[in-house]
Amino acid sequence: MIKVEWFYWLIAAFFLVVAYMVFRDDTNPRRITSALFWALLGLCFPYSSFVVAKTLPAWPLGLTVVAIACIAGFHGLAHGTQEKTTSPQERQRLADRFGNKLFVPVLIIPVVTGLFATFGTKLSIGGQPVLEPLSETVIGLGASAIVAVIVGMWVLRTPHPAVPLHEGRRLTENIGWASVLPQLLAMLGLVFATAGVGKAIGDSAGQILPRGSLVAAVVLYCVGMALFTIIMGNAFAAFPVMTAAIGFPLLIQHFHGNAPAVFAIGMLSGYCGTLCTPMAANFNIVPVALLELRSDYAVIREQLPTAVPLLACNIALMYFLAFR
Amino acid sequence: MLVLLGVLLVVVGFALRLNPMLVVTAAGLVTGALGGMSPMEILDAFGTGFAGSRSIVIFLLVLPVIGLVERNGLQEQSRRLIGRMARLTTGRVMALYLLVRQATCAIGLLSIGGHAQSVRPIVAPMAEAAAVKRHGRLSRRLSERIRAFAAGTDNVGAFFGEDIFVAVGAVLLITSFVDTTYKLQLRPLDVALWAIPTAVCALLIHGFRSLRLDRTIAREVEADAARGEPAAEATGEGFTAGEEVRP
């Protein structure tokens, strides 16, 4: 069976290669601490396998992540000044040479990912699933990356695997600490949940509970989902809390709403919040780094004018469709 | 209620633009402590949270191939391609991508698109090139705006497409949580169907904004020209040559 852990180990190997390259990069003003950042991050991934399997304690991992955060937070992470990729002029020439063949490796990614997502769940040998259940899409994305890099090297006549590794390291360094931030936020979410933040917010939302008014209850549920998602960065974390506080007792039990409609639209109200928050780093902060934008909030700014009217639509949809 | 101080810490930290890594770590430690967790329990929660969320970074595995094709002129080729399609404006590129992203996510193909695998190498350069084709050079501010809009379009398409698919995390979370907590029996298909009205609204709202983007760009180009803002550092040549962007 192909296991998702293999791909996490592959990520780990990639981070360690990045660490090595950074360590060798004399143009990096913070060579040692930067290399340490990537190396520690790389070591966290295989260790996590044992944490998930509950064969090793989780706290050393937590401690390492705090160390990683401190390296990044206290300006220990930098990257080299010397650019070792092709110049814009060279790229024009290379584009002349390869033309639309350049799209082949990029299009391999969706094709292979799509195949894994569609057929991956059905594959089995002797009753054993070929892909680890519930991880088919993650495995698909990882596998597509491997296939794409092989095809890319062939199509673009790249003799040495150091070239894609080097380019991958360049892009990863560009993303920098933003590549770990989503996981840090997931950690924070877990602490929030364990410490009872959700319950505290749910209780206070429950206290302004408008018993008599359906409109007010719908608005409170939808806006509450959006706001709590903005705080937690994740609608999945907000959903159980707001549903326990308002959604179920008020909208379902008291006003007899249509449960699938209430919950589906409630979750999507949370997604409107996801569009507005830096806490959803993988959607809103990582692309800032990937697209080399100067403002951390550039993506959120472009999403706000969609998120706000869409939240209003959700409120109207729930009010008019779920209580008939 | 004291634990809400941790939330406040996050809000204030982000508002003051402190380094998010420190803000988040500090908020975790403080919230845990206020919630009565021992230092060991907090670190345990950190570790468990990290280990459980590793799938978020799997997209990094596509960076080597993206870097490889970019090195060989992918973004340049994306621009040329758009240059040959006279009718494709920035707004239409965005609207088209929104539609495709939403439709593919609705049939469960969430990870075939994304910021690393489609926005950076293809969609953003095309959107920018379409504007350059029309207006000549763009100010850096405007080209960044177009790129950010492209990233936002990917998010909107993904969020409001995926929930129509039955086997997606959100639908299964709703049904499993509600069924176990309240002893209801929801069918995932019903939940997924009720995601359709919102999906249509999202398509209309963001599609409308995408198509209006052309007018916004035209207005901004005029304003830039009037202000005499230098288009010198501006693009059309892309965001590739490793300029220092993040502080």
Q: Is residue A175 part of a domain?
A: no
> In this structure, are residues B157 and B98 in contact, taking their beta carbons and an 8 Å threshold?
yes
Residues A115 and A137 reside in one and the same domain:
yes
Residues A189 and A293 reside in one and the same domain:
yes
All residues of chain A having their beta carbon less than 8 Å from the beta carbon of residue B240 are: 85, 88, 91
Beta bridge partners of A2: A131
Residues A187 and A310 reside in one and the same domain:
yes
Residues A209 and A277 reside in one and the same domain:
yes
Q: Is residue A287 part of a domain?
A: yes
- For chain B, domain boundaries: 4-49, 61-227
> In this structure, are residues A33 and A76 in contact, taking their beta carbons and an 8 Å threshold?
yes
Query: Domain count of chain A?
Result: 3
Q: Is residue A9 part of a domain?
A: yes
Residues A98 and A73 reside in one and the same domain:
no
Q: Which residues contact A246 (CB under 8 A, 6 or more apart)?
A: A205, A206, A209, A217, A220, A221, A224
Residues A22 and A66 reside in one and the same domain:
yes
Residues A93 and A60 reside in one and the same domain:
no
pLDDT at B17: 84
Q: Give A83's pLDDT tier (boundaries 50, 70, 90).
A: low
> In this structure, are residues A194 and A290 in contact, taking their beta carbons and an 8 Å threshold?
no
Residues A149 and A229 reside in one and the same domain:
no
> In this structure, are residues B203 and B160 in contact, taking their beta carbons and an 8 Å threshold?
yes
> In this structure, are residues B194 and B164 in contact, taking their beta carbons and an 8 Å threshold?
no
Residues A74 and A150 reside in one and the same domain:
no
Average pLDDT score over chain A: 91
Residues A95 and A227 reside in one and the same domain:
no
Chain B nearest-CA distance from A55, in A, is: 13
φ/ψ region of B129 (left if φ > 0, alpha if ψ in -120 to 50, else beta) reads: alpha
Q: CA neighbours within 13 Å on the CB side: how many for B65? A: 29
pTM (2 d.p.):
0.88
- 99-158 of B, contacting A, C-beta below 8 A: 108-113, 115-122, 124, 144-145, 147-152, 154-156
Angle (CA) B20 B22 B25, round 5°: 105
Q: Is residue A166 part of a domain?
A: no
Q: Is residue A236 part of a domain?
A: yes
DSSP B95: H
Q: Which tops the pLDDT comparison, A65 or B7? A: A65
Q: Is residue A174 part of a domain?
A: no
> In this structure, are residues A11 and B61 in contact, taking their beta carbons and an 8 Å threshold?
yes
Q: Which residues of chain B have pLDDT under 70?
A: 167, 229-247
pLDDT at A210: 64
Residues A258 and A185 reside in one and the same domain:
yes
Residues A70 and A186 reside in one and the same domain:
no
Q: Is residue A171 part of a domain?
A: no
Range of the domain at A114: 88-158
Mean pLDDT score, A282-289: 94
Chain B nearest-CA distance from A126, in A, is: 25
Q: Is residue A196 part of a domain?
A: yes
- The answer to whether the Cβ–Cβ distance between A59 and B195 falls below 8 Å is no
Query: In this complex, which of B42, B58, B124 lies closest to A142 when CB atoms are compared?
Result: B58
The complex scores an ipTM of 0.89
Looking at A23, A48, A82, which one is the last position of a domain?
A82
